């Protein structure tokens, strides 16, 4: 469903991604793990066109985000990129909710503005999505009135309101207190059970072990190894073993 080929990305003289290639199948849950600074979040942001790549190709099924032509990376038109991006949902570390809008307003804004849905249709789906994350009674509240776990569940509901085909999570529990983490992970487990295609950058090794179909271990901008959770968590690779022991 999602294919990245030989992705390279530098920030100045810092090489962040050094030839990452990864394919993700429809309905698959892929966990990206690795030490801080290994390039996991940058790779995810490149998949969502929040960052541009220096070279490589990205495809969402038959839709091309970027490809190599005459030795240079070429992105598709802005209209095509918007169409591709609408097929992908993104949940960030720090919620990124609009503070001046109620929960319900946060959820209906993008469907109405970007997809040109009617207010009634957007409201109906928003109520359904809030109920699915256990927050059916919070639509009239503002983000500051929510706990961190509730705010992140609203962020997930907001992404789902756009009816994405693939959900990307960038360390969605890293800003939460431990006791609130389980609220968010429970919603993500439920999405996995519903066969939502998911790419999850996470330090939650329990989630990666129990929920992911595949675990990808990154370090220093490259994929060190990947496989089933059983394969990666019992790896004999020295770099992987060192990371898992530290974690």
| Buried/exposed code over 62-87 (b: 16+ C-beta within 10 A; e: otherwise) | eebbbeeeeeebeebeeeebeebbeb
More confident residue, 28 or 93: 28
Mean local confidence (pLDDT), 24-48: 95
pLDDT digit string, tens, across residues 122-179: 999 999 999 999 999 999 999 999 999 999 999 999 999 999 999 999 999 988 888 8
Joined together, the tokens standing for residue 99 give: 């503070």
Assign 189 a pLDDT band (cuts: 50, 70, 90).
very high
Mean local confidence (pLDDT), 89-108: 93
pLDDT digit string, tens, across residues 201-237: 999 999 999 999 999 999 999 999 999 999 999 999 9
Mean local confidence (pLDDT), 95-106: 94
> How would you class 12 by CB atoms within 10 Å of its CB: exposed for 0-12, middle for 13-18, buried for 19 or more?
exposed
Give the angle 201-206-210 at the CA atoms, nearest 5°: 95
Task: Give the least confident one: 4-13, 40-49, 217-226, 238-247.
Answer: 238-247
How confident is the model at residue 94, as a pLDDT?
85
Distance, C-alpha 96 to centroid of its chain: 14
What contacts 193, CB < 8 A, 6 or more positions away? Answer: none
Phi, psi of 225 (to 5 degrees): -165, 165
Cβ distance 177 to 208 under 8 Å? Answer: no
> How would you class 200 by CB atoms within 10 Å of its CB: exposed for 0-12, middle for 13-18, buried for 19 or more?
buried
pLDDT digit string, tens, across residues 1-31: 999 999 999 999 999 999 999 999 999 999 9
What contacts 77, CB < 8 A, 6 or more positions away? Answer: none
What contacts 163, CB < 8 A, 6 or more positions away? Answer: 125
């Amino acid at each position: 469903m999602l294919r990245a080929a030989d992705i390279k990305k530098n920030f100045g003289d810092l090489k962040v991604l050094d030839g990452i290639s990864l394919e993700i199948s429809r309905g698959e849950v892929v966990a990206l793990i690795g030490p801080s600074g290994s390039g996991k979040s940058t790779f995810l942001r490149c998949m969502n066109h929040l960052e541009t790549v220096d070279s490589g190709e990205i495809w969402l099924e038959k839709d091309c985000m970027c490809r190599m032509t005459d030795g240079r990376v070429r992105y598709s038109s802005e209209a095509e990129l918007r169409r591709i991006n609408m097929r992908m949902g993104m949940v960030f570390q720090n919620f990124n909710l609009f503070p001046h809008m109620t929960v319900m307003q946060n959820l209906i804004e993008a469907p109405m503005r970007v997809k040109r849905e009617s207010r009634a249709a957007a409201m109906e789906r928003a109520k359904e999505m809030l109920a699915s994350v256990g927050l059916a009674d919070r639509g009239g509240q503002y983000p500051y009135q929510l706990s961190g776990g509730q705010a992140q569940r609203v962020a997930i509901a907001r992404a789902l309101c756009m009816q994405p085909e693939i959900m990307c999570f960038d360390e969605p529990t890293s800003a939460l207190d431990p006791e609130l983490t389980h609220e968010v992970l429970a919603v993500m487990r439920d999405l996995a059970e519903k066969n939502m295609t998911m790419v999850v950058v996470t330090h939650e090794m329990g989630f990666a072990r129990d929920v992911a179909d595949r675990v990808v271990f990154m370090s220093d901008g490259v994929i060190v190894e990947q496989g089933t959770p059983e394969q990666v968590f019992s790896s004999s690779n020295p770099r992987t073993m060192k990371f898992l022991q530290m974690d």
